[in-house]
Amino acid sequence: MVEEKEVKENEIIFPRIKRRLVNPKEKEERRQHILSVATMLLIEGGYSEVKIRDIAKALDTSASSIYSYYESKEAILQAIVEQELESLEMVLSDVKLSQNLFDSLKTICVTYYNHAVQNPFIYKLIFPSSYENVISTTAPLQLFSIFNGYVFSAFKSFKSRYTKDKIKTLSQHLWALTHGSISLAEDILQNTENSLTIERLVDIFFVGWKKSVKTS
């Protein structure tokens, strides 16, 4: 009789145990916390090595809890990339064009550079070192697409007569130059606080580019 009573009590009590409801604000904070911790782990351990359970352990929670927010590690990476794309778009949208085209292009490069060095972990995740496996083939192209869009907008604002092909080529060179400057500042000079390096490099590049356009 005692055992039967205990079973019945358990059957009655168990359904009453409810998880605390999470409001939208708290849920979003948890999502962001997962992304922050996951970004660090993915960079330090490598994308292929880090598992969902590693992220859960670092957060002192269960893997099932992570899955309630993100269905896979790929989904976490995609969320990190999308967040970075939105952030870059917002920063570049605030750029105020200068009184001439090339100063405006330089401002775009410097803004992109500053954003990258202020978010070094995300930058390293999207652009891993050459000896590491590329974890996302689309993210770099998406970042370039945003950068390229603002370069084209600058040319359009100044009613430039350059062809679309020439503008795209220039945009690709500027983007490569900017990323080279970021790697130089972080990995070799170990000083990302001074953006004068990218400004000088862009100035030097424009001198050569203008000459090449005149002779072509």
**pLDDT tens digits, residue range 163-173?**
999 999 999 99
In the predicted model, is pLDDT for residue 3 greater than 80?
Answer: no
Is the CATH number of domain 2-71 1.10.10.60? yes
What pLDDT, on the 0 to 100 scale, is given for residue 24? 83
Residue ranges of domains in the chain: 2-71, 77-215
**2-71 and 77-215 share one CATH topology?**
no
In the predicted model, is pLDDT for residue 6 greater than 60?
Answer: no
Superfamily of 77-215 according to CATH: Tetracycline Repressor, domain 2 (1.10.357.10)
Band (pLDDT 50/70/90 cuts) for residue 152 is very high
Q: pTM for this structure? A: 0.77
Q: Which residues, 6 or more positions from 142, have their beta carbon under 8 angstroms from its beta carbon?
A: 81, 85
**pLDDT tens digits, residue range 96-146?**
888 899 999 999 999 999 998 888 777 777 776 544 555 677 888 899 999
Output the average pLDDT for the chain. Answer: 81
The Cβ-side half-sphere exposure at 91, using a 13 Å CA radius, reads: 21
For residue 67, CA distances in Å to 64, 129, 135, 192 come to: 5, 29, 20, 36
